[in-house]
């Protein structure tokens, strides 16, 4: 995330999207990934914003896999 955000030019905007629960790395989880990290570091800065969607649109099988695996 630092590599991406630290290279944004003047007058540019960057939008980061993702599901912090979708982690396939053995050393990361929903609380210790790049997306969660940048949200936490920037949340008090007036230049940034953050929204969290309450509901995802997944098939029943995809949602079951996300919940169980």
Long-range contacts of 4-13 (CB under 8 A, 24+ apart): 5/38
For residue 21, the model assigns a pLDDT of 80
**Tokens 């169980």 sit at which residue?**
68
Proportion of the chain above pLDDT 70, given as a percent: 100
Prediction pTM value: 0.72
Residue 38, pLDDT > 80, answer yes
Domain tally, the chain:
1
Residue 25 domain boundaries: 1-69
């Amino acid at each position: 995330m630092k590599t991406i955000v630290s290279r944004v030019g003047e007058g540019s905007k960057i939008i980061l999207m993702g599901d912090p629960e979708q982690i396939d790395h053995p050393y990361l989880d929903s609380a210790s990934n790049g997306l969660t990290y940048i949200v936490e570091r920037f949340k008090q800065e007036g230049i940034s914003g953050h929204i969290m969607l309450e509901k995802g649109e997944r098939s029943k099988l995809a949602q079951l896999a996300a919940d169980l695996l």
